[in-house]
Amino acid sequence: MMKQAFPIFAVLAILLLAGCGQQATDSPDSGVAASKAADTNKIRIKDFSFIPSETIVDVGTTVTWMNEDNAPHTIDASGEFKSETLNNGESYSFTFTKTGDYVYRCGIHPSMKGKVKVK
């Protein structure tokens, strides 16, 4: 009797564990959705460009610019916010507390421009 019960418990345990794993990846609270949302708040600086050049976020969102260029860059939004010089691998973050369009540029390379639209 004991030998027959063991395979049944083993199968049930495997099904239970597999079901828990599936719920974790499909759940909106699993961290998958949060990770994707956080990625949309990042702006890469690469090849003397802001990528993406326009970003739309909600009030209260923090946006992070990451310098992936070999050249130094800054983020300057004409008095709204301004970063220090960012070298390769450095980042700058700003939290938007008011709605509006925030046009920014690189203070070192003025042809580099971008916009954050806060709704």
66-86: pLDDT as tens digits: 999 999 999 999 989 999 999
pTM > 0.85: no
Higher pLDDT, 83 or 34: 83
Residue 66 has phi, psi (to 5 degrees) of -120, 125
Going edge to edge, which strands form the sheet with 42-46?
A: 49-51, 42-46, 62-67, 91-95
Q: What value does the mean pLDDT take over residues 83-107?
A: 97
How many of the other CB atoms lie within 10 Å of CB of 33?
Answer: 11
Is the four-CA dihedral 13, 19, 25, 30 of positive or negative sign?
negative
pLDDT (0 to 100) of residue 17: 43
Burial 59-82 (b: 16+ CB within 10 A, else e): eebebebbbebeebbbbbbeeebe
How many C-alpha atoms does 29 have within 13 Å on its Cβ side?
1
The vertex-102 CA angle with 99 and 103, nearest 5°, equals 160
Tokens of 20: 């828990």
